[in-house]
Chain A
Amino acid sequence: MNRLFITALVVLLFLAACTGPEANEPPGPRIVYGLSLMPSGFDPHINASAELGIPLRSVYDTLVYRDPITGEFVPGLASHWEMSPDGLSYTFYLREDVHFHDGTPFNANAVAVNLDRITAPETGSQKARFMLGPISGYEVIDAYTIKLNFTEPYAPLLDSLSQVYLGIASPAQLAQYDNATYQFHQVGTGPYRMVEYVPGDRLVLTRNEDYLWGPSFYVAPEHPIQTIEFRFFEDPPTRALALESGDAQIMGEIQPIDAQLLAGNPNLRLYPVPIPGQPLQFLMNTRRFPTDSHTVRQALIYATNRAAIVDAVFQRFSPVAYGPLSQVTDFYTPDVAGYYPYDPGQAQSLLFTAGFTETNEDGILVIPTGPAEGTETPALTPTAEPVTAGVPLEVTAIVPPWGLTPQVAQILQSQWRTIGIDLRIRQVAGFSQLREAAQSGDYNLISLNFFGKDPDVLAQFFMTDAPLNWTGYSDFELDTYLSEGARQPDPATRESMYAAAQIRIMEQALILPIRDYINLNGTTATIQNVQFDSQGWFPLLYNFSILTPGDGN
């Protein structure tokens, strides 16, 4: 025990002596960037958190990049690429002037090593592996050319390859550390190097002065930030305070209620950034009474005053969502906006049609025990009718604690109550409890949404055999739209497939969309050129500029 301690001490002292003066005193200018949660792991190939990409987007380069303004794919580590006519393989021609932070050169072999790591089952990749879709393998054509092969066409590939989860790490470093420890010693080719990561405390980056191979939209500022220390501010009310007190210079996910304070402070700036992907939504269980009825599902959406929710909970910082994709997602169709405007009268008459013709002593709608005249009840739910007679219109919602979802559910409860719908809310503690609740099937509404610029995110929720098919809905037509949307390389075809899918999801009233996600970022006024990538979450730290007192500003 004692000997072990002394050995460890000696090793530590030796390491400290080796690292040299610049590591002890990171060069300035230095800022603190606040992260809103502590991810379970920081390895982009393994872990799935959006939070890990905020620092690591700048540690790694990707084969391609996506211009945040135009949405076009632009060269990254690959200077150009081509797709085979059948869509089953992509060939990437790599830059030859790139080297990793550890000095080793970047080449086709490095890409191969990364692909091996991501696809190996023992890596346990939670996201990166799935982003490669139906990949079957690769061929290293020469030192700077690599071909990726697929079992079927996979149109979302370039979007996947542009994300940090498929960032290219140094093979030498990957060989030196195992899957559990690499996250503490990450080495990429990006504009910042990772200096240290102390779990629960900080992750420090310093600028990579050798960086010459950035994508077209990486523009070096006049006053770059040399050192960025990421710290964790997991408690939402503390975030705006940390900016005001100077504990942090940039912070994501400011509480909407604090954002107004920020906007009114001349020393601070507010950057609301729309996040592509799914809006805040409730998936409706089509296999459980009463949401098994299409009419009831439609009525629930008509009964929801989304503008009031955005007003109260999100302080008007979010657009109301009408469909399964937020407005900044690829192939979003504005046609969904015509569906289900707030109309409690329409909701009531739909519920009447569904057989809820009477009100009990609590003011909740019920299906009368005797056959009600003039309604279509038997036609709509012929098998369920004997069981449901006399049962009040009770809807159960499972809500996670994040994203202000509990507050949204409480407003829904209040709004629905006025027309006789009884919403029971069950808040769960985290994602694993949410999944448990979903697997039990004992819910009518459950809230979950994923982010991503490519609409392929829908396939994970709405395909018949999808892992997150929590609506329980199965429809050949919708399955076809979603699978063809991922298979067809032609953007126009994809657009029509995904437009049809979005319309179908809303026609069937499979979800109750609430609001597009907006990340409320706050910074001090000294930070300038604040920009984010096309996925919305990830800052383009290379472009950030800092005003120091000496700049005369």
Chain B
Amino acid sequence: MTEPDSVHRLLRRPHRQRRHYHAPLAVIMIIVLITLLAPALAPYDPRHAVSGGYLLPPSAEHIFGTDTLGRDVLSRTLWGGRQTLSTALLATAITIIPGLLIGAVSGFTGHWVDRAMMAAMDTLLAFPNLLLALVIIALIGTGANQVALSVGMAGLPAFARVARAAVLDARHRLYVQAAWAIGAPPHRVLIHHILPNIMETLLSFAAVSLSWALLNGTALFFLGFGGDPSIPDWGVMLNEGRAAFRVAPWIALPPGMTITLTVFAVNRIADSWQDALNGR
């Protein structure tokens, strides 16, 4: 009775996914490609003033104009993407690798290990994400890597929670119990039976983590925690542009729009993966 229905859903799945996430994925790919090619694409040096002056409005020569210190905004936006995206990716790695480890061990082991680890995670979860990142950066000092570390650490408790819940859920499935029954050792059960089956949940939450990392990372750069202010970053540019917004709105717009576009696209991907999961 249920057989035809589930077969039908499985058949439909690729189509549902394609419809939802191919467009945002293409956007991400384009942004990543452009920022990777920034050294070749950027018409000017992002850190040095062009001769001819500061606060030049957009023109054929400077498509997005120049900023308060006379630097080409387009070049800075392209280079800034490298900094922003690499910080966000590093932060996401710092979130998901230890987060997965803590969540899996906690959910799989249970008992006091689970309670102790989750108590620690819950304590951290009590703080809003960005506040936690601010506290950590206040402790470890300013710098691009420090921003990635603090943003990554701030996202860790939530990811550990999600990973634990997924492991707990999978632990009671029939196929896991079957694996136990044939005498599979614990690490084999975890790695070969549980993890592959919760991968989609984790991936979809990893995408959510990435969009948090993007927003929180640019927020910390915006606030001046990036260490070297001459490193172009979308958050840094947004702050510079904000100070001059009434005189030169063209400085803040490109980084503002690219941040929005990137976060939106990443969120769409996370959503569509989530939809695909729920639809299964």
Contacts and interface: CB of A to CB of B under 8 A. Distances in A.
Interface string A453-477: 0000000000000000000000000
A509 B156 CA distance: 49
Interface string B218-261: 00000011111110000000000011111100000000000000
B49 A411 contact: yes
Interface in A209-233: none
Contact of B243 (A237, A399, A429): A237
Contacts of B115: none
Given A312-B54, A427-B224, A427-B229, A410 B69 contact: yes
A313 B143 CA distance: 24
Contacts, number: 72
A233 to B, nearest CB: 14
B141 interface: yes
A244 B49 CA distance: 32
A181 interface: no
Contacts of B226: 427
A187 B246 CA distance: 42
A413 interface: yes
A261 B141 contact: no
Contacts of B227: 425-427
Contacts of A260: 247
Contacts of B54: 311-312
A296 to B, nearest CB: 21
Nearest to A260: B247
Given A312-B70, A417-B48, A426-B142, A410 B246 contact: no
Contacts of A548: none
Which of A236, A258, A261, A427 has the most CB atoms of chain B within a 10 A radius of its CB? A427
B230 A409 contact: yes
B230 A410 contact: yes
Contacts of B230: 409-410, 413, 425
Contacts of B68: 257, 312-313, 407
**Interface range for B:** 20 to 34
B47 interface: yes
A508 interface: no
A433 interface: yes
A428 B223 CA distance: 11
A428 B138 CA distance: 10
Interface in A246-260: 255, 257-258, 260
Nearest to B224: A401
A255 B239 CA distance: 14
A414 interface: yes
Interface string A288-310: 00000000000000000000000
Contacts of B245: 237
A202 interface: no
A418 B230 CA distance: 16
B221 to A, nearest CB: 11
Looking at chain B's contact residues, the main secondary structure is loop
B118 to A, nearest CB: 32
A257 B142 contact: no
Interface string B21-57: 0000000000000000000000000011100001000
Interface string B133-175: 0000010011100000000000000000000000000000000
Nearest to B242: A237
Contacts of B142: 426-429, 433
A34 interface: no
B12 to A, nearest CB: 51
A392 interface: no
B228 A414 contact: no
Given A406-B229, A426-B228, A261 B48 contact: no
A427 to B, nearest CB: 5
Contacts of B243: 236-237, 255, 257
Interface in A376-433: 399, 401, 406-407, 409-411, 413-414, 417-418, 424-429, 433
A413 B229 CA distance: 11
Nearest to B244: A257
Interface string B101-136: 000000000000000000000000000000000000
Contacts of B49: 312, 411, 414
Which of A237, A311, A417 has the most CB atoms of chain B within a 10 A radius of its CB? A237
Contacts of A311: 54
B229 A258 contact: no
Given A237-B245, A257-B247, A425-B229, A413 B47 contact: yes
Nearest to B240: A407
A236 B69 CA distance: 18
B229 A261 contact: no
A362 B141 CA distance: 28
B47 A410 contact: yes
A514 to B, nearest CB: 14
A429 B138 contact: yes
Interface of A: 236-237, 240-241, 255, 257-258, 260-261, 311-313, 399, 401, 406-407, 409-411, 413-414, 417-418, 424-429, 433
18 contacts: A237-B243, A237-B246, A257-B68, A258-B246, A312-B54, A312-B68, A401-B224, A406-B224, A406-B229, A409-B229, A410-B69, A418-B48, A425-B227, A425-B228, A426-B227, A427-B227, A427-B229, A428-B141
Interface of B: 47-49, 54, 68-70, 138, 141-143, 224-230, 242-247
Given A425-B229, A429-B224, 7 more contacts: A257-B244, A258-B246, A258-B247, A407-B69, A410-B47, A427-B142, A427-B226
5 closest pairs, A vs B, by CB?
A: A406-B229, A414-B48, A410-B230, A425-B228, A312-B54
